[in-house]
Amino acid sequence: MSVASPLEATDHRTALIRRAFRLEYITLAWMTVEAVVAIGSGVAAGSLALTAFGIDSLIELVSAAVLVWRLNVELRHGQAFAEAAERTASRIGGALLFALAAYVVASAGWKLWMRQGAEFSLPGLIITVLAVPVMYFLSRRKLQVADALGSRAMRADAVESITCSWLALVVVAALLVQLVTDAWWVDPLASLGIVWFLIREGREAWQGQECCGHSK
């Protein structure tokens, strides 16, 4: 069996990094659309679940932007320097997700106490339905590249994409139940259902664990 030369190994890693760039650029474009539509429709409908989903999309947008920066760092300064940068990036993403989870719990508790519901949102339903296959596709491709690069930051970003698809499913289910029943309690309860995913996602990002990407 032939052994790849250092030059060939470097070229292979550079090709993987460029592939990672393409995936992150697609993520940036989609997350921008997803965040704008979800937050806009969530605010218009008074839906905490949709708004939280949109804010999570914003955090993932920041995560993708930071990862693009990390890949640029590796290309310019080498892998060791980039690994130090990605640990900081993962912790920032984790802290933001914990903050979002706390916001959702407080807001959902208030809405349940005040018996405040939300209106059905067709744009919200469309964007969340589309998010499921889009984020699943991106997560699988990111996991492949993350394993090849040995990048914890990209693996965390891939896990965030997986979580986003599950969050989307929760919101889709909530919107459909709301459409059928018109019950005021659907939105705050669905929001509390989102919290578990946010905490899990935040913990994985904070600890930099190689987790659950292959289990879904």
Whether residue 95 contacts residue 58, with contact meaning beta carbons closer than 8 Å, is answered with no
Question: Domain map of the chain by residue range?
Answer: 7-204
Q: Which two tokens stand for residue 27?
A: 């993520």
Report the percent of the chain where pLDDT is more than 90. 44
Q: CA–CA distance from 35 to each of 22, 24, 152, 155 (Å)? A: 20, 16, 25, 22
Query: Model's pTM, two decimal places?
Result: 0.81
Encode pLDDT of 34-84 as tens digits: 999 999 999 999 999 999 999 989 888 887 887 888 778 767 765 555 666
How far is 131 from 127, CA to CA, in rounded Å?
Answer: 6
- Selected residue with higher pLDDT from 171 and 210: 171
DSSP E strands in the chain: the ranges are: none
For 7-204, give the CATH class: mainly alpha
How far is 213 from 142, CA to CA, in rounded Å?
Answer: 10
Whether residue 21 contacts residue 75, with contact meaning beta carbons closer than 8 Å, is answered with no
Lowest mean pLDDT among 12-21, 70-79, 139-148, 194-203: 70-79
